[in-house]
Amino acid sequence: MTRTRFDQAGKQLVREALDGHCIVETDAEVPADTRRIDLWVVPRDLSAPIPDDLGLLGRITSRSATLEFFHNTPSGDELAACLIKHGEFRHHLSRRKTLPPAPMQWVISSGRPEAGIIGLGFRPMTAGSSGIYESPPLQYTRLVVVNELPVTRDTLLVRLLGAGSVLKQAIAELQALPPEAPERRLALPVLLRLRLTVPAELAQQTSDDQEFLMNTQDIVESWRREAIQEGVKQGLEQGERKLLLRQLRQRFGSEISGEIERRVAAASAEQIDLWAERILSAATMAELLAD
């Protein structure tokens, strides 16, 4: 099972990032002693391009994969347990009548699990960014050490699964993106939901909780401002649509059908402005609504 609220948020972030691109199963059962995989993802269409905004996360999940999240760096034994569980899971899948694609395991660790890397024979991947390690071939596992990843937009979504200064830096980068940036629209709601899970009582908060609350305070304020601005904008646009329909009815009377009303309701703000400019000069409805 997922270990901390931060790991739970990591599962939510990855699940929502892959929604529509992959079949994602949460807490997939490993039948040996009812252990569970954090996430099991299978792309819906292997020929479909990976969305560019997913960056490293998209490449990790471009093929069938299981993901295990460690906000707290795992010990060697914990990493070894992941390998055992994954081997049992692959064996379980191989016994199905319809064989699913065999998954590669990706362990996402906030820090470097030195004992596990040495004891289990992980080595840096020769092709790929720093911070990514691979196990001996028959263990079918790769390890992402989040605090060793390059600080680029390509790795941003994965670095949001980190801890401490790495998470703080990733949150700041996310906040600096334009409001319409896909990564921002994806991750901000997950971070805000994570804030709601932090206990209100200071005595019940961990040091990670307190640091996270401080690092995301600016995000909360900007999210509120953006929500207010978006609401005002939508209100203004709705008012413009109502005004245009009223003017159309005054000018063309019974010609304003349900179809015309639907066109006005679905039109962009730019189209509404254009039609409003034509309201006095257009001789017919067709002329006014011409593209």
What's the domain range around 239? 226-288
Which mean pLDDT values do the consecutive 10-residue runs of the chain (291 residues) have? 81 90 85 80 89 94 96 96 94 87 96 97 88 95 97 97 95 92 91 86 92 87 68 68 80 81 84 79 80 70
Spell out the residues 6+ positions from residue 202 whose beta carbon is closer than 8 angstroms to its own: 210
Q: Would you say residue 164 lies in a domain?
A: yes
Task: Please count the residues of the chain.
Answer: 291
Work out the burial of residue 247: count CB atoms within 10 Å of its CB; fewer than 13 is exposed, 13-18 middle, 19 or more buried: middle
Q: Would you say residue 221 lies in a domain?
A: no
Name the pTM for this structure: 0.73
pLDDT digit string, tens, across residues 143-175: 999 999 999 999 999 999 999 999 999 999 999
Q: Would you say residue 84 lies in a domain?
A: yes
Residue 80 and residue 71: Cα distance in Å, rounded?
17
Is the same domain home to 145 and 283?
A: no
Is the same domain home to 141 and 248?
A: no
Is the same domain home to 164 and 269?
A: no
Q: How many CB atoms lie within 10 A of CB 120?
A: 19
CA angle 9, 51, 128 (to 5 degrees): 80
Q: Would you say residue 14 lies in a domain?
A: yes
Q: Which residues pair with 165 in a beta bridge?
A: none
Is the same domain home to 153 and 265?
A: no
Is the same domain home to 26 and 162?
A: yes
Q: Would you say residue 127 lies in a domain?
A: yes
Is the same domain home to 242 and 149?
A: no
Alpha helices for the chain (secondary structure H): 5-17, 55-60, 76-94, 114-119, 156-159, 164-176, 182-197, 207-215, 217-252, 258-266, 269-278, 285-288
Spell out the residues 6+ positions from residue 185 whose beta carbon is closer than 8 angstroms to its own: none
pLDDT digit string, tens, across residues 264-286: 888 887 888 888 778 767 778 88
Residue 200 and residue 275: Cα distance in Å, rounded?
52
Residue 31 and residue 149: Cα distance in Å, rounded?
34
Is the same domain home to 41 and 109?
A: yes
Is the same domain home to 133 and 234?
A: no
Q: Would you say residue 171 lies in a domain?
A: yes
Residue 114 Ramachandran class (φ > 0 left, ψ -120 to 50 alpha, else beta): alpha
Report the pLDDT value the prediction gives residue 95, as an integer from 0 to 100.
87
Is the same domain home to 92 and 176?
A: yes
Residue 199, SS3 per DSSP: coil
Q: Would you say residue 114 lies in a domain?
A: yes
Work out the burial of residue 105: count CB atoms within 10 Å of its CB; fewer than 13 is exposed, 13-18 middle, 19 or more buried: buried
| φ, ψ for residue 26, nearest 5 deg | -90, 140
Is the same domain home to 129 and 259?
A: no
Element holding 134 (H helix, E strand): strand 132-134
Q: How many domains does the chain have?
A: 2
| φ, ψ for residue 55, nearest 5 deg | 55, -135
Strand 22-30, strand 35-43: pairing: antiparallel
Q: Would you say residue 40 lies in a domain?
A: yes
Is the same domain home to 132 and 238?
A: no
Is the same domain home to 173 and 234?
A: no
